[in-house]
Every structure is written in C-alpha cells, then in structure tokens.
Structure 1
Amino acid sequence: MGHTHHEAAGIAPAVSSVGAKYVEPSATRILQRGEKVDDLFNRNITTPYFVQRLSERAYFFNGGFYTTTFYIGETGVLLLDAPEGQAKNILAAIAEVTSLPVTAIVYSHNHADHILSTAEVIEASRAAGVTEVRIIASTKTAEKMEFLKCTLPAPTETVAWPKATFKFDNVTVRFDGFERAAHCDDAGTFLLVEEKVVHLPDLLNGDQPPFWRFGTAENTVYYRLNITQLGDLDWIHHVGGHGNVGGKEDIAFVKQYLDDLDLAVAEGMKTVKFGMVEDIKQYNNHAALMVPWLGTLSKHVVDQLRPKYGKYYGFEFSVPSHAEMVTLSAISYR
C-alpha cells in the first residue's frame, strides 16, 4: 500500500503532512522510516485498538485516540504510560504478541489521562503472579504528584531530573527532562536507546500540525525549544500520545509550520487594528479591547495559513488556538 491520504468515513481524506506511505497496522512487521499507519482517524472511531510493531522489541499501541509504547523484555513487559480507559485494550494488545506480564510502568508526566489505568494494569499483573510492579518516574514527576496529593499509584522508584538512564532487562532507557518545558513542568523524553524509539506524549503527533493549543501546552513560548530537543535525540520512531507514529520528517514539518505561523502572526499584528470596539463602556471591562482583537487577528492568521496548511488533519480546529497563543507570547516577550 503506497497511498498518501487518510481515509475517513463521510469526509474528504486529509493529506499527509510529510508525504508518508500509509500501511495497514501490523503486530509482526516492523514499521519502516517514512511509513505511517493508514486510516488512523477511522480506526480510532470504529475499532477498540490496534498494535504496530516499531522495532525488534518495541510496539505502538493505539486505542480511543490514545497511543502509548510497550517493550517486551526477557522476563516481562515495560509499559510507558497507561492511558485513561485503555487498561483492557492495552492488556489485550500486549497479549497479542507475548504471554509475559507487565512488570514495570513508566509515568511520562503527571497528567491523569496518560496514567489513570495504572492500577488496573497492576491488578492484572498481580493476578498473573507478579509480586511487585515497578512504577518509574522522574524525581520531578514524583515530587509533583506528592505536592498535588495525587491519588494514583505512587512511583516505586525515580530517575534523576533532568538526565538519567535505567535498565529494563536488555534495554537502556534514557530520560531527558526539558529544562524549560512547554506542555507541563515535569515533561521529558523516555528513549529506548537500542530500539531507537522515543516516548513523549502531548508535544508532537505524527502526520499533522500541532494539536489544539499546542497539545494544551502550559507555556507556549518554550514549544519550539522542546521540538528541537526531541529532534536532536537518536531515534527512528516517536510515540506522541494521541496521533500517528512520528518520524524525524515530522520534526522538520512542525518547525516549518512554526516559522510560517510566526510570520503570519507578525503580519497580522501590523494589519489588524487593536481595540476595535465602538463603545467599551457597555462592557465595563477593558478585556473588550483585547478579546475581539485577538479573535479577529486569529481569523486573519488562519486565512493566511489555509492555502498551505488547510488540507492537513485538524487545521480548522487547532490553528486558531495557535494563532492566539503565539500572539499573546509575542505581546509578552519582546
């Protein structure tokens, strides 16, 4: 299969942002550079999950618009995140390729939607005879969970922030925390070194412009720095938490998109007049000067970018938020 369009029931197919070759998912065939899983949106709404093999021992799980990574070792399975509502599907996916139980779980960051199924996975492992499942997180994630009185299972061991490595059977896992993180303050990359697979949710999703509000980034101004740090690591496949399998071509695409977005915002700030309100007294709030301007400018930016990017997945839903966030950052940082 060599087509380069998404197939989705009832709508025009989106075009690959990186000229990907689309293939059907396979739990046995290793995904090659430049390949993506076909029909991704439709698969998410019509099937419970699928598995794609990424390397000799690492696999991509997709279910309910969530993705994660698992690694099959000699004695057990390492699961990187256990997304919300996906415990049964994850366990079924793992069972497709191995009879080994999950013996370790990594928390990529302290957002519940990516780790909420941990207790269910641990329960299944204990039923399979595992006396203790390792829960591994960075020191910053562990401290954040304690500070916020998180009710999810606490890490049983930590890796030092901002850089550390640990072993799981025969694989080296390298952790790199973002010194200045966009998505949240405890975000970082987990790289399966020998497999050349990197796990980092909520920053970049393969084959599309950034998600709405840059993946709900808490600090947009650092987004490009994080994309660069991710791209500088030695990997072939990236698992981003919600979209298609990522590759280095996706890094290049997003960097170009950010360049074009910055230019469009700069042009829009010169073109769209600030404070276009006939009578601010009726609102009794000076936000009436900012909010309509921001909305008008955002629409202007989206119109500027549509000829080049409008054919890509999520454009109409995501790009208006990008324009607003970049505009606010441009106002703040000069």
Structure 2
Amino acid sequence: MQLIRMFSALLLAAGGLASGHPHAHDEHEVVARDSIKIAPGPSDTQIQFAPLPSTVDSVPINATLGYFVGDLGGGVYWVTDGTYSNMFLVSTHGVIVVDAPPTIGHKLLYAIGNTTRLPVTHLVYSHLHADHIGGASLFNATHPTIIAHAETLSLLASLSPRDPLRPLPHVTFENNYTVRVGNQTLELSYHGPNHTPGNLFMYAPAQRVALLIDVVFPGWAPFSELAISCFIPGWTAAHDVLLTFDFDVLVAGHVGRLGTKHDVLLQKKYIEDLHDSCVSAINGGFDVTAAIGPTVAANPGNPWAEFKAYFRGAVQTCADNTTSRWLGVLGAADVFAFENAYRMVISLMEDV
C-alpha cells in the first residue's frame, strides 16, 4: 500500500504530463542499460572511482599460498583470501569451523591442517548463501556435525535439486544454541531476519570474538544493495544487536581485515545517513515533475516507465547527498552508492 500511495503521489506531482507529445523527447535520454543503471554512460571498466582510504587496508596475503591465517588467541583463528573470511576454533577434542567459503576452498583445509592434526568435528553455517558455505562438502570425510538455524535448514531443504556442496544441517535451533567441544565454547543466537532469514550472531566469549556475516564491512561501504539483504529494518537493527556483545574483534565474512566496535559504529552512522537522505529525497527532495516529465511524455500510458524515472530521480538524489559525506571515510562509498540508495528507497516504501 505504501508503494501504491507513493506512485499516486508522483503522478499527481507530474500533473498533466501524461498527455504530453512524444516528439518533444530525445530518444537517447531514455535508453536503459539494465534494471539499476538506468541512464546511458560509460561501462564500469571505464569509470574512475574515488581513491580508497587507508581504512580498507588488508592483511598481507601470501601470493604463493593465496590465504592468510591469523591467530586470535585461545585457540581461535581466522582465515581470509582478501575477499572472504571465516573462523575456526581448535579445542582439545576437535575443531569447530564457522562457514566454508568456496573462494577459499581447499586452502581452508590447508590452513586448519597446518595448525592442528585434530579433525573437524563441528561445522556451523552462518546462513544459507553458497558464497559462504558452498565449500562445506570439503569436510565430508570427517563427518562433522553441521549446526544451523532452523530457517537455514528449511531454505536449503527447499532447493530443487538440493545442493550437494551444502549438506543439510544435522542440528538446528530457534533462538539460542551453545556449541561446546572440549575446552572451546561458541555461542549462537538468532534475532530475526536481517541479511537472510536464519543469519546468526556468533560469539566466542573466552576470546571476545564476534562473528556476524554480511552485515558490517570493516572499513568499506556496504556491498551492492546493502549486501543484497532480504530485510533492511532487521539488517539495520543488527548493528545495535551486535554492539550488545562484549567483543574486541569481529569476523565479518568479507574484506581482508578484521573489524572492531568502531567499524560497527561507523557503518551504523553511514546507514543512518543513507536512511535520512532517502527519506528526504522521497519527501520532496527533488523535482519530480522535471525528473519524470520526459519519460512520461515519451511513454504515454506506461506507469512502469514513469515509476522507473521517479526511482532514478529519488535514488540519485539520495546517493549523491550521502556519497558526498562519506568519500574518504569508508572505502568505495561511490561504487555502489546508487544501488545502496535504491535498496533503501525500496525498503522505505515497502518495509515500513
């Protein structure tokens, strides 16, 4: 209903433009490249984005090995290939692994094998997405107990055909679950949908290490469309939930460095700024008539075209205003500026 009301408002703002003359339109102004980049322009390979600030600096990745293993103390280690990251805990009775990104792949086996001779006895799925657990089948030989939220099991089980690279979890839960293996403890909790249904908060209390995947991107602006998240209010609220944990280090699932509470607070401010900028845009922050006029005139009776023109105006206004304040603060604030603003505008229309 919110979306319908917004569409009705933009049509009223456009006045009688729908009766305009098509010949007043320059056909090259409405060429659509794809569903997001709705204005013609250079390809992404030709765009010169802003220089990256030092906040994005990665740990050094050994060119021969192709991965980095960091010792977080107390038998906890994190592994990264510079783009993805995960974690494992070495106990007195076996290894707990959290996620198995296929980009790291067999290197994860090497990282664990070079650290301990103990077998992997437990594997935790943060959520269902294949880019984080698509390497799970690499551990089939040790038959680990796979643990996930009940929503993750339901979603994986619904795949047809099922993905053999992501074996179904053996143990599921609804709210809280504690993994105890030997002398290691990993606390799992669920606080509602955010990036996906079933996406977990994970915490190693003895080592003060937190894991939350696909929410915070330490040093960087969020990935496209706010990490392609399913429920933006929950994804936004996840920042506050994460800050209730008493952690020193955050393993975030992406980028080549660890996060801290400062990184969480900084991205939280970015999201709040993006939210406020998009609210301002759709509440009269740009000239709707000027933004949709040429498209309405060129496409009489086509409300989809009119709505796309409205999105272009609202989203670009939000993106421009937000980016101007975050360049040099978070890495690549300009790269997915339009896509992130687009997702926020959609959420403001649909999720509230």
Query: Fold-level match, TM-score > 0.5?
Result: yes
Structure 2 distance, partners of 1:75, 1:331, is 51
- CA spacing shift, 1:167–1:255, aligned 2, 3 Å: same
Paired AA for residue 266 in structure 2: F
- Does residue 216 of structure 2 align to residue 204 of structure 1? yes
- CA spacing shift, 1:98–1:325, aligned 2, 3 Å: same
- CA spacing shift, 1:224–1:119, aligned 2, 3 Å: same
Partner residue, 1:272: 286
Q: Secondary structure at the match of 2:79?
A: strand
Offset at 1:217? 0.2
Alignment partner of 1:291 out of 278, 303, 308: 308
Q: Retained in 2: the 8 A contact 1:79–1:105?
A: yes
Q: Secondary structure at the match of 1:89?
A: helix
Partner residue, 1:177: 190
Question: How many residues in Structure 1 have an aligned counterpart in Structure 2?
Answer: 297
Structure 1 distance, partners of 2:316, 2:49, is 23
Q: Retained in 2: the 8 A contact 1:200–1:238?
A: yes
**What are the superposed Cα offsets for residues 190-235 of structure 1, whole Å, 9 maximum, x if unpaired?**
2122222122211112112222111110122322211111221222
Q: Retained in 2: the 8 A contact 1:162–1:178?
A: yes
Partner residue, 1:263: 276
Alignment partner of 1:14 out of 32, 45, 52: 52
For 1:194-273, list aligned pairs within 5 A.
194-243=206-255, 244-269=257-282, 270-273=284-287
Partner residue, 2:118: 100
- CA spacing shift, 1:46–1:230, aligned 2, 3 Å: farther
Structure 1 distance, partners of 2:53, 2:342, is 25
Paired AA for residue 133 in structure 2: I
Partner residue, 1:147: 158
Partner residue, 1:301: 318
For 1:11-50, list aligned pairs within 5 A.
14-17=52-55, 38-39=57-58, 43=61, 48-50=66-68
Structure 1 distance, partners of 2:331, 2:156, is 34
**What are the superposed Cα offsets for residues 222-265 of structure 1, whole Å, 9 maximum, x if unpaired?**
22211111221222211111123111111211121122112222
Structure 2 distance, partners of 1:46, 1:320, is 37
Q: Retained in 2: the 8 A contact 1:109–1:141?
A: yes
Structure 1 distance, partners of 2:204, 2:296, is 56
Q: Retained in 1: the 8 A contact 2:153–2:169?
A: no
Offset at 1:155? 4.2
Greater Cα radius of gyration, structure 1 or 2: 2
Q: Retained in 2: the 8 A contact 1:109–1:186?
A: yes
- CA spacing shift, 1:78–1:223, aligned 2, 3 Å: same
Alignment partner of 1:327 out of 322, 340, 345: 345
Structure 2 distance, partners of 1:85, 1:65, is 8
Structure 1 distance, partners of 2:146, 2:351, is 39
Offset at 1:161? 0.8
- CA spacing shift, 1:12–1:224, aligned 2, 3 Å: closer
TM-score under structure 2 length normalisation = 0.76
Offset at 1:71? 0.8
Structure 2 distance, partners of 1:47, 1:299, is 42
Offset at 1:302? 2.5
Aligned residues: percent identity? 23
Paired AA for residue 53 in structure 2: V
Alignment partner of 1:56 out of 58, 62, 74: 74
Alignment partner of 1:78 out of 82, 85, 96: 96
Offset at 1:156? 5.3
- CA spacing shift, 1:44–1:205, aligned 2, 3 Å: farther
Structure 2 distance, partners of 1:274, 1:89, is 52
Q: Retained in 2: the 8 A contact 1:45–1:64?
A: no
256-265 vs 283-292, which moves further: 283-292
Structure 2 distance, partners of 1:55, 1:285, is 61
Structure 2 distance, partners of 1:61, 1:119, is 18
**What is the alpha-carbon root mean square deviation over aligned residues?**
2.6
- Does residue 168 of structure 2 align to residue 168 of structure 1? no
Q: Retained in 1: the 8 A contact 2:145–2:171?
A: no
- CA spacing shift, 1:74–1:318, aligned 2, 3 Å: same
Q: Retained in 2: the 8 A contact 1:142–1:154?
A: no
Partner residue, 1:27: none
Q: Retained in 1: the 8 A contact 2:90–2:184?
A: no
Q: Retained in 1: the 8 A contact 2:232–2:344?
A: yes
Offset at 1:281? 6.5
Partner residue, 1:310: 327
Unaligned runs of 5+ in 2: 1-47
**What are the superposed Cα offsets for residues 253-283 of structure 1, whole Å, 9 maximum, x if unpaired?**
1121122112222232222233613353644
Q: Retained in 2: the 8 A contact 1:16–1:208?
A: no
TM-score under structure 1 length normalisation = 0.80
